[in-house]
Structure 1
């Protein structure tokens, strides 16, 4: 009898495995990185999926992020409208810099929502907190991340937004994987990138990304493309959902 039962036991276990409450799909495989000697002083020589990763805008360029003409050049007001933020949402502003976008989004998620402004540079994190306090934004929380990890708990945010950030990530695979983990199932992950397709946009080529490139790199993490918003003057907004 035991011999007979053993013939069927492997099949039963194999069929039942996906139904276990602790079952998790296999994580995506990292494509890896290629390192070459930089071709210029402002090049990194580090490639991911055939794309050269750009250098990082440091805290010394913080004033450029706060320039008065930014609203007209990038129409960040239209960006916030397009995100369709709702009261009570928890939003992660990844690579928040000075917290410029965090402050624009803050009123839309009140009274009970909050913005988690994440940056890898301590000087930027300090500035985020200071500007939020000085301007009365009490629902902005500043968090310092690592180059490869957003340092957020699992499944806590309804939406993660990267404004002109993803192309600068030193470890895009690892960082995006951590962002996916921090996003609730069914939540949104939004890439806002300067349009590589438009040569007239006055931004260095390494700081631009095409929509096709964004979608290709997001697909590694099994994100579901939802829509692309193209009516901003300089950037496209590519919206994905984390599968439920």
Structure 2
């Protein structure tokens, strides 16, 4: 083999290696047959955890050190979260679960509307719940209840909530099917789930790919746990707002 041929082989190998690094969603090996709904892969996106659910890689959780991002002053201008609240059709006695509540940004904006109800602010990070407790005292809002969840369980009583809201949170759930099953049990008959996610269909939305979701993917995953899609509102600058409902089996 000539020196030139050896160089060509080396170049080809380097190109193959680069392609593998730039295509993180390619599996390192075929998944072994399993009844498990999750698949672990060794080659994955740097912003993912290497676990896949229904063809989607799960994103890394934004830790409590990112609390400042949630409370940034320009969030209303960028995302217009007040529009989310305006279309939730909340009633004064409703019980709303803010899943992945973080600092309680949405919780504390919803709570004043629930004059006879409350917001259950659910998160897996105790540090986030500490921030919520701090804001409860600072804002003098008593109807926000922090709840520590686990990776697989939102820790909500059966038939206890009217609405579960997830704003930019669902894509980070490490066990999405398990958590959704827990949420469905916690919903009252005909209770709603509202998911807000950055639009994965739009490559020009400058959010990391794994922190965006397409409407098609969300609807597929919600259908898998028995939720019924009701509507998608594209009233937000960068996000889908998708409404699902728990079937009322008593009707």
> TM-score band, normalised by the shorter chain?
0.7 to 0.9
State which of 142, 150, 154 in structure 1 corresponds to 2:154: 150
Q: State the match for 1:116 in structure 2.
A: 120
Distance (whole Å) between structure 2 residues aligned to residue 119 and residue 40 of structure 1: 24
2:87 corresponds to 1:82: yes
Please give the secondary structure, in 2, of the residue aligned with 1:232.
Answer: coil
Distance (whole Å) between structure 2 residues aligned to residue 40 and residue 190 of structure 1: 27
Q: State the match for 1:105 in structure 2.
A: 110
Please give the secondary structure, in 2, of the residue aligned with 1:83.
Answer: coil
State which of 193, 196, 205 in structure 2 corresponds to 1:192: 196
Is this contact kept in 2: 1:197–1:210, CA < 8 A?
Answer: yes
Q: State the match for 2:170 in structure 1.
A: 166
Is this contact kept in 2: 1:102–1:140, CA < 8 A?
Answer: yes
Aligned residue pair count: 214
Q: State the match for 2:22 in structure 1.
A: none
State which of 180, 200, 206 in structure 2 corresponds to 1:176: 180
Q: State the match for 2:242 in structure 1.
A: 238
2:47 corresponds to 1:42: yes
Task: Give 1:64 shift.
Answer: 0.4
Task: Give 1:201 shift.
Answer: 1.4
Distance (whole Å) between structure 1 residues aligned to residue 175 and residue 80 of structure 2: 29
Q: State the match for 2:64 in structure 1.
A: 59
After superposition, give the CA deviation of every residue in 1:170-215 in whole Å (9 maximum; x if it has no partner): 0001000000100101110111111001122111000000111110
Task: Give 1:41 shift.
Answer: 3.7
Please give the secondary structure, in 2, of the residue aligned with 1:243.
Answer: coil
Is this contact kept in 2: 1:31–1:48, CA < 8 A?
Answer: no
Task: Give 1:31 shift.
Answer: 5.9
Distance (whole Å) between structure 2 residues aligned to residue 125 and residue 223 of structure 1: 28
Is this contact kept in 1: 2:197–2:213, CA < 8 A?
Answer: yes
Task: Give 1:38 shift.
Answer: 3.9
Is this contact kept in 2: 1:188–1:241, CA < 8 A?
Answer: yes
* Structure 1: stretches of 5+ with no match in the other structure: 1-29
After superposition, give the CA deviation of every residue in 1:114-164 in whole Å (9 maximum; x if it has no partner): 000000001001111111221111110000000000001000000000000
Mean alpha-carbon deviation: is it higher for 34-43 or for 121-130? 34-43
Please give the secondary structure, in 1, of the residue aligned with 2:87.
Answer: helix
Task: Give 1:84 shift.
Answer: 1.4
Is this contact kept in 1: 2:47–2:210, CA < 8 A?
Answer: no
CA RMSD of aligned residues (A): 1.1
Please give the secondary structure, in 2, of the residue aligned with 1:100.
Answer: coil
Distance (whole Å) between structure 1 residues aligned to residue 64 and residue 43 of structure 2: 22
